Amino acid sequence: MTVQLANPAGSGRTLYVSRFSGGITVSLNLLSSFSGSMILSANGTLASPSTLTPVNSNLSSTNISVAAVRFSTSAPSGATTLMTLALQAGPFSSNVFGSYVVPPGQSINLTVSGSLTVGGLLASTAYFAWWEV
């Protein structure tokens, strides 16, 4: 699954990623071997995306985010890979403190995937936190 954080062209703001996190939960494993990965990528197109609503964590602010946040069950096509990591089952988190900058007209993607060789149940999650200036 992929979460895309996009900054629309002409937004007048720049997005700074402060954290990306997620995980893979395996709730039933039928003697399977598990493999998982996380891919951070730039730009690209999501197939059949759903729109997610950005939430301002400054509860005293009425400012609305310019970001477009989308979700897809597949990886983006045409994206440029920035980082790839193998994952174990469980959560992961990376505080990047604004080192990934998303200017207007650009996007960043977090793809989390896992598989079992025989069968079982698993779920993937992905999350971005950011600020805008």
Find out whether 109 and 40 touch, Cβ atoms under 8 Å. yes
User: How far apart, in whole angstroms, are the C-alpha atoms of residue 46 and residue 58?
Assistant: 29
Q: Where are the beta strands (DSSP E) in 30-105?
A: 34-42, 50-52, 68-72, 80-87, 90-102
Q: Which residue has the tokens 């992905």?
A: 126
DSSP symbol at 76: P
The residue ranges of the chain whose pLDDT is under 70 are: 31
User: How far apart, in whole angstroms, are the C-alpha atoms of residue 108 and residue 69?
Assistant: 10
Find out whether 126 and 1 touch, Cβ atoms under 8 Å. yes
pLDDT in the model for residue 80: 98
Which residues does 36 contact at the CB level (< 8 Å), separation at least 6?
Answer: 24, 86, 87, 88, 89, 112, 113, 114, 115
pLDDT in the model for residue 18: 98
pLDDT in the model for residue 119: 77
Classify residue 67 by burial, with Cβ atoms within 10 Å: 0-12, 13-18, 19+.
buried
pTM of the model: 0.93
